[in-house]
Amino acid sequence: MGISRKESSNEMWGGRFEGGPAAVMREINNSLALDRRLWRQDIAGSQAHVAMLGAQGIVPAADADAIAEGLGRVAAECEAGRIPDDPALEDIHMATEARLAELVGPVAGRLHTARSRNDQVATDFRLWVRDAIDEVDRGLRSLQRALVARAEEQAATVMPGFTHLQVAQPVTLGHHLLAFHEMIARDRSRFIDSRRRLNESPLGAAALAGTGFPIDRDRTATALGFARPMRNSLDAVSDRDFALDYLQAAAQCALHLSRLAEEFVIWASQPFGFVSLPDAWSTGSSIMPQKRNPDAAELVRGHAGRIVGCATALLVTMKGLPLAYSKDMQDDKPPVFEAHDLLGLSLLAMTGMVETVAFRPDRMRAAAEGGFSTATDLADWLVRVQGIPFREAHHVTGRAVRLAEKRGCRLWELPLEVLRTVDARIDAGVYEVLSVDASVASRRSYGGTAPEEVRARAAEARAELDRE
């Protein structure tokens, strides 16, 4: 007899149990509603496994062919949205096997030869996380392209650079945007590194000890695109480092997206007015008709907290588990799936905002010209031109700032005779460095904010993206 979808899960487990599980046990044990999204990976793993069983003569070739054909039919049904959802079947793995049995009959029972649900689940989940990393990487690459394009466009747009959210020195908007490009590049490297580590196949580890059947684990690993089989069967079924790696990379990435979102929230506020977010990324108020709220950015900021929580949840779940498999590990997927969904939405939202936001260079320049942002340029000029030690130049500049503050003017608006009362070594050449444009133009060191340097780094980044 084949496995009927009407059979209860205890019959799937074999003859050890006489009675069925309690209703609450069925509910707490059932994960089908959640792990149904693993169907592609589950069928791919089963196809690789049965092909190996047939090639090794463990299963008759005709039976292996029949199972493979049946799995193809199950896959077509799932693709059409007809994923088995019988609550009597506790997960996607049993559900697809049960449907296979309906299609090909008792021969379906041979599929599970030399395989446990432990290595099956571990394989499916690794495949899913690998696909998720590839998906996230495409999204991150799109965001990088958007950041580079806007950075090139705004390479010479002057804005205030901040420390402690106080005006510090003038920078260019292009330089500011490229800082986020660098953060995203590191995020991509973390995901790529985690992908490299996870790319080993657990299939063939069976329950925990391997199997006595003459299986070919290299064959199944190659068929599924893994670099090699995992070297220890206990580790293969109990490891969830790959899921933790993914979550920790996702958490770090979400933090970067949250920081960019926070910039947009601040910049869109009326006191700043540095940007105007399009209608597509804004909402209104139910009571205040004048409001234009940066809700998309705020939601990205909020999603970061949830993604960090997902990483924490799995860390705590795994922290005290003995080898090899424990049912706690059924809870490995909800945080990964949730984090992945939230990260995908956040990436789409931030990419859309970067691509379409309207910058306000006039407001940015006005803010950069306030707060005595070129004070460091005065100090540097005193060092470079007059040979004054920097600490002394710092004190001279501080006195000049205090004087401008008292007079209610900018540094470059102080008359030369007034500046010379601060220090007689100051001459007319100082006015060549005191404007915000002169300030940013002078920062030509590698990675600096000078427009020519921003354009060079943006071109370099674009070339790297084009080579991928």
Query: Is 285 assigned a catalytic role?
Result: yes
Dist. CA 231–CA 253, nearest whole Å: 31
Q: What tokens appear for 235 in the block?
A: 């580790």
In the three-class reduction of DSSP (H, G, I as helix; E, B as strand; rest coil), residue 289 is classed as coil
Note every long-range contact of 285-293, with CB atoms under 8 Å and residues 24 or more positions apart, other chains counting: 292/268
- Give the integer Cα–Cα distance in Å for 351 and 261: 11
Close Cβ partners of 202 (under 8 Å, ≥ 6 residues apart): 119, 122, 123, 126, 229, 230, 236, 237, 239
What is the rounded CA–CA span in Å between residue 93 and residue 148?
Answer: 44
- Which entry of 164, 181, 276, 395 is annotated as an active-site residue? 164
Q: Which of 189, 269, 285, 326 is catalytic?
A: 285
Buried b (16+ CB within 10 A) or exposed e, 127-146: bbbbebbeebbebbbbbbbb
CA distances in angstroms from 292 to 36, 267, 288, listed in the order given: 40, 13, 9
d(CA 268, CA 377): 29
Q: Does residue 164 carry a catalytic annotation?
A: yes
Beta bridge partners of 359: 275
β-bridge pairing 228-229 and 200-201: parallel
Nearest CA to 202 out of 133, 132, 129, 120 is that of: 120
The CA distance from 48 to 59, in Å, is 13
Tokens at residue 437, please?
Answer: 């444009």
Other Cβ atoms within 10 Å of 402 Cβ, number:
12
Say how many residues make up the chain.
468
Q: Which residues are catalytic?
A: 164, 285
